[in-house]
Amino acid sequence: MSDSLITKQAIALGLKTIMNQKSFDKITISDITKSCGLNRQTFYYHFQDKFELLNWIFYNEVITVFTDGLSLDNWQDNLFNMLEVMENNKNFYQNAISQSFQDEFTEYLIEISIELFCTIIDNLVGNQQINQEDKRFIAEFFSFGVVGLIISWAKTGMKKSAEKMIKQISTVVNDCKAYAAKRYIEENLNL
């Protein structure tokens, strides 16, 4: 592991530690550097501001966990791993998501989810053609639903376990896939 990465992780840990006691909006760069035992110059060498640091933490702790090798076969496992990371750092993620960064985090998750749902739709329809506009609409519909649930779950205290969340999300997605396949078969048999 490079020295730069070690330093970034130390700074991130400093922010996470403080966010267990203070809201993100009230945290200063001085608070962060005191918490991790580094100086301001070191902080600014690695991050432009506390928002960039927050982005870096989200990307490295949550987004990469979800997107790493993401496929139709493992999306549920990846989503569970992402929710588990958030659950294990509950105070930090609740605090962070309730801040202005929520919009960026939400948009990024939606973008990834849309791509995943488009692939699911392509696999469901097989050789049949689907209007690209319709496919995009369906993918957005499911993406906004799933991501909205995750954000709501985090903002309201993560009362359900990550395991229960993934079971509920998977059930809805899989039931919709089964319904779509059944409908497709019925429509094509009636032709």
- Using the predicted structure, report yes or no on whether residue 19 has a pLDDT greater than 70: yes
Query: Is there a single domain that holds both residue 39 and residue 75?
Result: no
Host domain of residue 36: 1-47
CB 50 within 8 A of CB 15: yes
pLDDT, residue 100, reads: 56
- Using the predicted structure, report yes or no on whether residue 189 has a pLDDT greater than 80: no
Query: Is there a single domain that holds both residue 159 and residue 86?
Result: yes
Query: Is there a single domain that holds both residue 95 and residue 40?
Result: no
Query: Is there a single domain that holds both residue 32 and residue 65?
Result: no
Kindly report, residue by residue over 22-76, the tens digit of the pLDDT: 888 899 999 999 999 999 999 999 999 998 998 899 889 988 888 888 777 888 8
What are the C-alpha distances in Å from 189 to residues 182, 183, 184, 185?
A: 11, 10, 9, 6
pLDDT-derived band at 111 (thresholds 50, 70, 90) equals: confident
Query: Is there a single domain that holds both residue 149 and residue 170?
Result: yes
Which of 118, 120, 172 has the alpha carbon at shortest distance from 146? 172
Query: Is there a single domain that holds both residue 181 and residue 114?
Result: yes
pLDDT, residue 62, reads: 87
Query: Is there a single domain that holds both residue 81 and residue 145?
Result: yes
Mean pLDDT of the chain: 86
Q: Computed over its alpha carbons, how large is the radius of gyration of the chain?
A: 20
Query: Is there a single domain that holds both residue 102 and residue 27?
Result: no
Which has more pLDDT, 105 or 184? 105
Query: Is there a single domain that holds both residue 66 and residue 41?
Result: no
Choose the final residue of a domain: 11, 29, 47.
47
pLDDT, residue 18, reads: 94
Q: Which residue has the tokens 């689907």?
A: 130
pLDDT, residue 108, reads: 79
pLDDT-derived band at 180 (thresholds 50, 70, 90) equals: low
User: 54-61: which pairs have CB atoms within 8 A and are 24 or more residues apart?
Assistant: 54/15, 54/24, 54/96, 54/99, 54/101, 55/101, 55/104, 56/8, 56/12, 57/12, 57/15, 57/16, 57/96, 58/96, 58/101, 58/105, 60/12, 61/85, 61/89
pLDDT, residue 135, reads: 86
Query: Is there a single domain that holds both residue 113 and residue 179?
Result: yes
Q: Please provide the distance, in angstroms rounded to a whole number, between the alpha carbons at the two ends of the chain.
A: 61
Query: Is there a single domain that holds both residue 65 and residue 157?
Result: yes
Ordered DSSP codes for 19-79: HTTS-GGG--HHHHHHHHT--HHHHHHH-SSHHHHHHHHHIIIIIHHHHTT--TTTHHHHH
Which has more pLDDT, 134 or 181? 134
What are the C-alpha distances in Å from 22 to residues 19, 53, 91, 161?
A: 5, 16, 10, 25
Kindly report, residue by residue over 126-137, the tens digit of the pLDDT: 777 778 898 899
